[in-house]
Structure 1
Amino acid sequence: MLRKRIVAAVAVAALAALSACSPASEPSADGGGEQILRYAPAMFPVSLDTHKFAGEEAVQTAIQQIMEPLVRVEDGKIVPVLATSWQNPDPDTWVFKLRSGVKFSDGTPFTAKDVVASYERHKKLDGPLVPLYATVTSFAATDDQTVTVKTSKPLGTLLSSLTLLFIGPADKINTDGFFNKPIGTGPFSVTAFQPDEKLELAANPTYWDGAPKLNKLEFVNIPEVAGRITALENGEVDVLTQIPPDQVGEVKGSSGISYETTPSWTYYFDWFNSNRKPFNDKRVRQAMWYGLNLEGTVKDLFGDLASVAQAPLAQGVIGAPKLAPYKYDPAKAKQLLTEAGYPNGFSTSMQWPLEGGPNIRALAQAMISDWAKIGVTVKPLEKERAQWLEDFGKLNWDMNLQTNVTGTGDADYTLARLYVCSAKRNGYCNPAVDKLLLDARSSVDQAQRPKLYEQAGQMLWTDAVGIFPADLASNSAHRSRVQNFVMPPSGRPLFTKVSVSGS
C-alpha cells in the first residue's frame, strides 16, 4: 500500500505541469474554449505503424483515431467506413465501392490506389495478420472508386479481416518516417508522437463524417495503475480503461467519476510449448488443466469482471463455440501424469509479460500453487514486455500466460490465425483442425461457419493446446464531464463522437 501511495505521489508530481491547464480546468465549448480530452491507456503504443504492429491493441487504438479501414464492426455487424458497399459477383471475387469526396487530413483525395498501396505494404511487412489474406491472389484498383479483390477460393472472412487494414496515402505511406506522424482520413491528425511517452492529436476539421467535438485528444502515458487512478481523481486525465479488479472499488467510490463494465473479446490463455517435453504429451497438458481450481481462482481474483472460459476465445466473438470447462480434479491430474510417465511430477516454468493483463501476476501465482499440489513445480518468469515478446516469438518458453483479443470479432482471427500448423505459434499441429478452420474461413455461408468452429474448438479443447482460464469483461472510468464515451468489445475506444463539458 505504501508503495502504491509513493507511486501515486510521483505520478501526481510528474503531471503537475499539466494541472494549470488540466482538462477539468479547461472551459467548455459553450464557454468558447477548446475541448481537450486526455486518455490514459493501460498500455501505450510503441509505434503508430499499424501495418508492422497490426496485432498490438495499443497501436490499433491509437491509429484508428487517425487512419480508417474500409469497414468496421458495430453491434456485431460489419458497417461501411471508407467503403460504402460491396458485392460478390462470383464466390472468388469481392468488389468494393469507395466513399466519394473523402480527403486525407493533408487535403489529398482518397482513391482506390491508397487502399491497394496500404494492403501491399501490410503484406510486404509480413505482420501477424497477413495469414488472414492467405488466399487473396490480387488486390487491385479497378478505377478510382472501386477495389476488386480476387481469391483462390471463397474467403468468407475478408470483411472482418479488412476491419484492421488501415488506409494511408499511396504516395507517402512507404516513405521513411511516415508513421512517426501518419496521415489518414480519420477524425484526428497527429501533432506530436513519442513512443511510450506521448501522443497528441488535433481534430481534423474536414473529416468526411463531420469534425469531432473534441479539439484535442491526448494519450497520456502513466505506467502504474495507482498513478492513473490518482490522475483521474485529480482531473489530470479524463478516461481510464482496463482497471484491475483490486482497484475498482477506489474508482467506483470517487465522486464525479462514472464506472462501467461492458462485454469484451478479451480472454486469458496459458499455452504449452508442445515442442518441449513433457508438453508434447497430450495427457500431461490435460493433467495441468485438471489440476487447476479455475472456478475458485477466477471468482476470487476477478469477481464479476471475468468468467471461466468456455472456448479457446471469448464468448462474445462471432462463431465462438460453448464448451464444457475442465473440472477441478487433482486425482485425475495425478493419474494422467502417472500414465504419461511422471508419477512424481516434474519441474517446468511459465512466463508472462509485466503488466500483461488484470491481476496477471496473482493469476500466475494461483495456478503455480495449484500445480504444486499435483507434484508439478513451476518457476515463475515475469518479464519486461520487450524481452517477453522476443522470447515468445522464438518459442523460448515452456508455458506462456497472457491475454488476447479477437481483434476482428470473428473466430477466424483467433482460431485460424493461431492454431493452424503453418502458424508455428506453440508447437501444436493437427491436420484435422487445419481442415476445419480453413473450411470455415473459405465458407461464405455464415450459418455454416460456427458449426465448423465448434468442431475445431472441441479438438483444441480436448488436445489441451493450452489452458483457457477466463473470459474478461472490459471496464472503464471517466469523469462526469465526458459525454458519449463508449467502450466497444474490441477494447479499442473511438473518440469521434466524444465531447466534454465544463468541469
Structure 2
Amino acid sequence: MLSSRRFVAVCATAVLSASLLSACGFEKTEMATDEKVGISLPFKPVGSFSPYSDDALLNTRMGTAETLVSLDSDGKPEALLAQSWTMPDESTAVFNLRQGVKFHDGTELTAEAVVNSLNHAMKASSKPKGLGKKELTFSAVDKHTVHVTSEVPDPVLVQRFADPGTVILSEKAFDGDKVTLINTGTGPFALASFDTDKAESTAFADYWNGAPLAQGIRTTFIEDGVARANALRGGEVSLAQAVPIAQLGELSDHQVEATPLPRGVYLHLNTNKGVFADPAMRAQAAQFVEAGPIVENIYEGHAAATEGKMFSANASWSKDVISKNSLAGATDPAGAKIRLATWTERPELPEAASVVADQLRKAGFEVEVVAKEYTTLEDALLAGDFDAVIASRNYQLGAADPVSFLSSDYTCEGGYNLSMYCNEEIDKEINDAMNIADLDARYTRAAEIAGKIVADNAVIPLAHEYSLIVFKDLEGVTIDPFERRLITEKLAKADAGAN
C-alpha cells in the first residue's frame, strides 16, 4: 500500500495507468473517510487465521467470527449464535439458533450451515481442543435446530462450543482441506485482507445485533512490547493488548483496563529428561524460587500472588484447596547446567526468567536463559528440549474447563505438556474428574488434582495475570476475563458518538 506522502506525489505527477488509478483511488478513499479503528495485538497469525490453528482466538477477538455460545464471568455458557439450548440427556445437546443471522457473504445462518462447519472442525487434522477427544456427531433437526450427540456422557458438552476453534463459517469458507475467514464469518466485522503483519476488516451492516459503530478495524501484529507501546504513543493505533507494564508510566493519557484472568505464569520443570527428571533437583529449585519479587517488581500490582496454587486463589472452587511445592529431599545440584526458555511476546516473561535464573543460580545451578519469539520456540518446547520453561497459560481455554486443561497440560498423552509430566495415578484422577457433572464439584476436583501436581514440583506457579488493555479515545471496548472477545459492534471512536 502506498504511504500518504507517496500517494500525493505519485497521483499528482504520474501518467496514470489503470492499475495506478485503482491504487490511488483506494488510497484517496481511505484518507478521506478513514474511520477504521487501529488496534495492535501481540501475536502474529501463523495459520492464515484458520480456526484449527493457534490463530483461532484472533478471529473472535477481532470480531470477525462467532461461536454457538459465549461464556459468562463464571465460565458458564451464555447465548451467542445459539439463543438457547437443552440437554435432554448427558450425551445430547440441542441448540436453538438465533434467527435472522447472516454470514458476511450474504448467506443465511441455518442448521445445515452449522452442521457443515462443525463437521469440518471435527475432521480437521488439528481439531479444536475444546471439542475433546471423543466423537461428536451433528445433525440438523430443522432450519434452526442443531442436534449434537457425544459418544460418551459429557457434562461440559454445551460449553465445548465456546471454543474459538468452533466458530461457525459459511459454506464458502471451505475448499477441501483449506478454510478461509475472508467474508465467511458472522461477526460485526468482516475480514477483508491480511498478511502476517496486519489485517483489515470492514463493518458488516447486516450484523444480527445491529450495525457496528466503527467503519472497520485495522489490526497490526507487533510482537515487541515496546513497539506496541510506541504505536500507541505515536497514534498509529488506538488500542493495544499486552503493553509492557514498564511502559504504562509514559502512557498516562491513555486508559488502562486491568482485569483478573484465568491465566497463570508458571515455571515448568522438565520431569522426563535432564537435570529435573530427578525429584531432588526439582525440590531444590522449588526451595529457592520465590514468586513474590516477580509479582511485586515485574507486574507492579497487575498480577496476583499464586499462594502456591496453579489456579487463582480468588476462584471460589480453588481458594480452600491446599497447594504448595514440596521442599522435601532437596539436594545441592553442584553446578548442574540447565537451559531456561521463555518467549518475548509477553514482555514480562523474559524479565521473570531473569529473576528466576538468578534464584536458581543461588540454588547452585548454572543457568542459560533462552528468550525468543514463540513461533521459533514452540517445536522445541513441545519436544522437551529445555530443562525449564516459563510460560503464560490460560487454564480455561477451549471448553473453559480446568479439568480439560489438566488433561492437555499434565497427562502422559497431553498435547501441551511443557513439564513433560507423566504420572499414571494423576492421569486416572483427571480421567475420573471428566465424568463429574456438577461444575462446582468438577472445578474443585481440578484444583485438588492440580495441588498434587504442584506438590510433585512439575510446575512452580509464579503469578496469576491480569488482562492489560491500553486505549485512548475509544468507547465500547469489551473487557473479557476469558480473553476471547475484544472488538464488538459497540466499539467506536470517542468523538464519533453513535454516528
Instruction: Verify same fold: TM over 0.5.
Output: yes
- CA deviation vs aligned residue, 1:260-293 (integer Å, no higher than 9, x gap): 2111222211222222033223332232122112
Q: Which residue of 2 aligns with 1:5?
A: none
Q: How many residue pairs were aligned?
A: 462
Q: Which residue of 2 aligns with 1:113?
A: 112
- Distance in 2, matches of 1:96 and 1:485, equals 29
Cα pair 2:49 2:58 within 8 Å, conserved: no
Task: For 1:127, give the aligned amino acid.
Answer: S
Q: Which residue of 1 aligns with 2:14?
A: none
- Aligned residues with identical type, % of pairs: 23
List alignment gaps of at least 5 residues for structure 2. 8-31
Q: 2:342 aligns with which of 352, 357, 361?
A: 352
**How many angstroms does 1:33 deviate by?**
6.0
Q: Which residue of 2 aligns with 1:417?
A: 408
Q: 1:463 aligns with which of 456, 461, 472?
A: 456
* Partner-residue secondary structure (3-state), 2:437: coil
- Distance in 2, matches of 1:16 and 1:322, equals 61
Report 1:429-468 matches (<5 A): 429-468=422-461
Q: 2:475 aligns with which of 458, 469, 483?
A: 483
Computed over aligned residues only, the root mean square deviation of the Cα atoms, in angstroms, reads 2.9
**How many angstroms does 1:107 deviate by?**
1.2
**How many angstroms does 1:203 deviate by?**
0.6
- Distance in 2, matches of 1:397 and 1:221, equals 27
List alignment gaps of at least 5 residues for structure 1. 1-13, 19-31
**How many angstroms does 1:201 deviate by?**
0.6
Comparing 171-180 with 447-456, greater Cα deviation is found at 171-180
**How many angstroms does 1:178 deviate by?**
4.0
**How many angstroms does 1:407 deviate by?**
2.4
* Partner-residue secondary structure (3-state), 1:279: helix
Cα pair 1:35 1:499 within 8 Å, conserved: no
Cα pair 2:421 2:458 within 8 Å, conserved: yes
Q: 1:381 aligns with which of 370, 377, 381?
A: 370
- Distance in 2, matches of 1:59 and 1:84, equals 21
- Distance in 1, matches of 2:57 and 2:216, equals 22
- Distance in 2, matches of 1:268 and 1:317, equals 16
Q: Which residue of 1 aligns with 2:10?
A: none
Q: 1:262 aligns with which of 259, 262, 276?
A: 259
Report 1:359-398 matches (<5 A): 359-398=348-387
- In structure 2, the CA distance between the partners of 1:93 and 1:463, relative to structure 1 (3 Å rule), is same
- In structure 2, the CA distance between the partners of 1:118 and 1:277, relative to structure 1 (3 Å rule), is same
Cα pair 1:187 1:211 within 8 Å, conserved: yes
- In structure 2, the CA distance between the partners of 1:365 and 1:108, relative to structure 1 (3 Å rule), is same
Task: For 1:241, give the aligned amino acid.
Answer: Q
Cα pair 2:41 2:219 within 8 Å, conserved: yes
- Distance in 1, matches of 2:312 and 2:380, equals 25
* Partner-residue secondary structure (3-state), 1:421: coil
* Partner-residue secondary structure (3-state), 1:72: strand
**How many angstroms does 1:345 deviate by?**
4.7
- In structure 2, the CA distance between the partners of 1:135 and 1:177, relative to structure 1 (3 Å rule), is closer
* Partner-residue secondary structure (3-state), 1:121: helix
Comparing 183-192 with 402-411, greater Cα deviation is found at 402-411
- In structure 2, the CA distance between the partners of 1:87 and 1:373, relative to structure 1 (3 Å rule), is same
Task: For 2:427, give the aligned amino acid.
Answer: D
Task: Tell me the TM-score normalised to structure 1 length.
Answer: 0.83
* Partner-residue secondary structure (3-state), 2:61: helix
Comparing 483-492 with 167-176, greater Cα deviation is found at 167-176
Cα pair 2:82 2:97 within 8 Å, conserved: yes
- Distance in 1, matches of 2:410 and 2:300, equals 30
* Partner-residue secondary structure (3-state), 2:214: coil
Cα pair 2:323 2:451 within 8 Å, conserved: no
- Distance in 2, matches of 1:379 and 1:438, equals 37
**How many angstroms does 1:490 deviate by?**
2.2
- In structure 2, the CA distance between the partners of 1:316 and 1:240, relative to structure 1 (3 Å rule), is farther
Cα pair 1:474 1:489 within 8 Å, conserved: yes
Cα pair 1:133 1:158 within 8 Å, conserved: no
Cα pair 1:169 1:184 within 8 Å, conserved: yes
- In structure 2, the CA distance between the partners of 1:400 and 1:249, relative to structure 1 (3 Å rule), is same
Q: 1:71 aligns with which of 48, 69, 72?
A: 69
